[in-house]
Amino acid sequence: MAHTLNWFEIPVTDFARAKRFYEAVLGTEIGTVSMGDSTMGMLSSDPEAVGGAIVQGEGSRPAADGTMVYLNGGDDLAPMLARAAAAGGTVVVPKTEIGNGYGYFAHFIDTEGNKVGLHSMA
């Protein structure tokens, strides 16, 4: 097994708003796919990487508690965290060193009310 995690979904209520937010945070365009009654914004479609999407549809309810997804913050998560704040998110844990050589993390609340983490090694 290459990865413990192979797919994640971030629930959204306002798809257009969430798509704009995550495009700003990630600095990339998000492709949209309809699957039945759900609309998905593909955050990653690389078959060699962990994939994920923002999802609007039945049963997709944003939450700031429960399971949390950590997005790859690249070489330094600070620019991505700044883009999250500028795009309407709220930083709830600033860039913080984990210690023991594990890098750094931060948390933000997205425009939908989800708490999301970022991780980077620097």
Stretch 72-95: mean pLDDT: 98
pLDDT digits (tens, 9 = 90+) for 5-41: 889 999 999 999 999 999 999 999 999 999 999 999 9
Model's pTM, two decimal places? 0.93
Answer yes or no: is pLDDT of 1 > 60: no
Spatial contact of 45 and 33, defined as CB atoms under 8 Å apart: no
Q: Token digits for 13? A: 């209520």
Whole-number pLDDT of residue 2: 63
Spatial contact of 45 and 31, defined as CB atoms under 8 Å apart: yes
Spatial contact of 3 and 66, defined as CB atoms under 8 Å apart: no
Answer yes or no: is pLDDT of 62 > 70: yes
pLDDT digits (tens, 9 = 90+) for 87-104: 999 999 999 999 999 999
What are the domain boundaries of the chain?
Answer: 7-120
Architecture of the structural domain at 7-120: Roll (3.10)
How remote is the C-alpha of 1 from its chain's centroid?
23
